[in-house]
A and B are shown apart, each in its own frame.
Chain A
Amino acid sequence: MLEVKDAVVRYGAITALHGITFEVNEGEIVTLLGANGAGKSTTLRMVSGLQPPVSGSISFQGRDISHTRAHDFAKLGVSHVPEGRRIFSQMSVEENLEMGAFRRRGSISNDLDRIYETFPILKERRKQLGSNLSGGEQQMLAIGRALMSQPTLLLLDEPSMGLAPMIVDTIFRIIGEIRASGTTVLLVEQNAAHALRLADRGYVLENGRIVLSGPAADLLVDPRVRAVYLGEDVEAGT
């Protein structure tokens, strides 16, 4: 469904991704792991058009999308939940969700109902401002907003960041449900143990290169992964 080949991303003179190759198949949950500054977020930004690659290719459902602009991805069926949630803090919960369906025509009330079913707390708070939600509720809102565009591929950037363990469990359970309902998920996480238990396959990024890949169950017991996820590696900072 999504194929990335030898993609290189540069921020000015700094090369963030030195040619990475990976793929995501329909119906999978694939996770990208790595320490701070390994290039995980850059990879997601590249796949959603926010930071186009300088070389290499990205194709989605057989179509080359390496030069598609970020705002056209919603139409393609790729939805990005950016790092740090980035909800519109001055809009109400419902307005936030409506923004998610910005590129769609026609009624959205069915989708709203579906999102409220998945996240009952959002229904309770639908008239409240985004800024008055807790971190976990904001994350749910960010995911709900992305789902409003009816994506076939959902990109999640560190959904567990800064959340209490109990909320993290809920979020991961919901990611599982989203996949069960037919949406493919590409998940970037620092919480490697959690991500690998949920995912089908995983890739490990280090300094802008993919150093390991394989089925999630294998990665979970791999000593090198355990080293990365325990933070034993010495990494150059951001």
Chain B
Amino acid sequence: MIRSFLERAPIRRLLVIVGVVAVIELITGPPGSNQYPTSGFTGSYAEAASFFGLFRTQRWVVFLALALVAWGIVELWTRYGATIRSRSSSALAGPRQVSEKRPVRVGFALALLVLGILLPHIVNNAFWQSALVTYVAIYVLLAIGLNVVVGFAGLLDLGYVAFYAIGAYTTAWVTGALPTPPPFGHALDAFWAIPFAVVFVVIAGVLLGAPTLRLRGDYLAIVTLGFGEIITIFANNLYGITGGSTGTQQIPHPVFHVGPIKYSWGLAPVPYYYLALGSVVLFLVIFSLLQRSRVGRAWTAIREDEVAAESLGINPLKFKVMAFAVGAASAGFAGVITASADNFLFPSSFTLTFSINILVLVILGGMGSISGVVVGAIIIQVIQAYLNHTPPSGYQQPDLYIYVGALLITMMIFRPAGLIPSRQRRREISLYEESHEGHPDEVLLGDDV
């Protein structure tokens, strides 16, 4: 009887939420000490805390109250959410039909673009103006590029940072900031590093992709992981070429100089914001056009069923390499902008953690969904900037990973396809779940040799 009570859906959800909240309570609680090893644990629950200033009590009461509020919201949403959604958007009402509402979406995109252009004037604050570039725009650029590889073509790339590093190092090389002489013997403006960077990352994408993209799934992930590490180690150890572990600190700010038109980027962050915004818009347009094109359909076909795609005459290797190279291009851009805005670069900034962070943005936003990835990247990066700028008491930078990790786990439970799932990915996941309740195809069709 207790069992049947516990198995009722609302009760199960309550238990899950209380469990998650208990873990959050523990990780946000005080640290332990040598003298009282358990104090970190007991303190997390017993310490005094205030409930939004309303009343003061012990932490566990506060968190339990929060859990109940969260549970209430979830229950209301499960009960009435479907009605609200069907009222607010008819696109979701008929998921069986493939339909598009393009004019609405284009209008929405334009409104967002205007907001993006006005944003640095709305946030009139030096920290946030520079955070818009270093925390947000660059990461959006990286995330939409990785989304092409992971979301469109379905290739798990754990070494994406390599392309970002190549973009940054190309900037340093072209501007003469590295021990290696710049191309053709004389240094160029950082702005002209962009075409070089794009060419180099695309070449790197093809060089890495051609031999490795024959591998599938986990194997590919491991090889790309290795590639990311190799690039960092190269940067670190090739003193004569890359400047070794000290990198370089002499990258000039970009200057655009063609004929009578001359524009120099300086120390102020806002011009970099517009440079980055321009690149983001450029790549958003390129990527969404690609997604709808023949190439995009080939990627979808390969992601869904490589064998079927191959027997229809699609060369999987060719299109996978293409996804790799195209996705790398935006990372090259991001590398140029960061390097020239910061004036310096160090090999230690191009780590595996960086690749994983970008991947997290893509997964949280919704793999394969351009709008989802943009929104996901903005939300996570704004939270990160906020926490670094005005840290709550006891917060240290590495703590962010705990929160993002918890968020990721929660998302995987409640919204596995991401914040704004691509229509296709959402269906794929619901299909997968159906199949585990005995989808007829799964039972009948084994992978017979």
Contacts and interface: CB of A to CB of B under 8 A. Distances in A.
Contacts of B424: 90
A55 interface: no
Nearest to A87: B308
A88 B308 contact: yes
Contacts, number: 107
A59 interface: no
Contacts of B294: 102
Interface stretch (A73-81, A110-118, A166-174, A178-186): A73-81
Contacts of A162: 440, 444-445
Contacts of B301: 88, 91, 99, 102
A103 B309 CA distance: 11
Interface of B: 96-98, 294, 297-298, 300-301, 304-305, 307-316, 424, 427-428, 431, 440-441, 444-446, 448-449
A74 B315 CA distance: 11
A11 to B, nearest CB: 7
A103 B97 contact: no
A238 B448 contact: yes
Interface string A108-146: 000000000000000000011101100100000000011
B448 A83 contact: yes
A109 B315 CA distance: 24
* Chain B interface SS verdict (over half): helix
Contacts of A127: 97-98
Given A88-B300, A90-B300, A132-B96, A41 B448 contact: yes
Contact of B96 (A89, A129, A135): A129
Contact of B313 (A11, A87, A102, A129): A102
Nearest to B316: A71
B98 A74 contact: no
B311 A70 contact: yes
Contacts of B315: 69, 71
Nearest to A78: B311
B49 to A, nearest CB: 47
Given A89-B431, A127-B98, A161-B444, A16 B312 contact: no
A48 B309 CA distance: 13
Residue among A90, A98, A131, A162 with max Cβ neighbours from chain B (10 Å): A90
